[in-house]
Copies of this chain bind each other. A is one copy, B any other.
Amino acid sequence: MNELTLEICLSPELLHLYNLEGKTAVVVDVLRATSCIVAGLACGIASITPVASLEEARVLMAAGYIGAGEREGKQVEGFPLGNSPFSYMQPCLKGKKVVTTTTNGTQAIQRSLAASEIVIGAFLNLSAVATYLLQRSRSAVVICAGWRGKVNLEDTLLAGALAHKLENFFTWKDDSVLAAKALYAHMRADLHEHLKSSSHYQRLAHLGAQQDLHFCLEIDRFHVVPILANGEIILA
A interface with B by C-beta (< 8 Å): 10-11, 13-14, 17, 147-153, 156, 173-176, 178-179, 182-183, 185-187, 194, 197-200
Contact = CB atoms under 8 A, between A and B. Distances in A.
A151 B10 CA distance: 8
Contacts of A199: 173-175
Contact of A14 (B13, B156, B182): B13
A176 B194 contact: no
B14 A14 contact: yes
A68 B10 CA distance: 32
A140 to B, nearest CB: 17
Contact of A153 (B13, B148, B175): B175
A73 B134 CA distance: 35
A175 B198 contact: yes
Contact of A175 (B151, B175, B178): B151
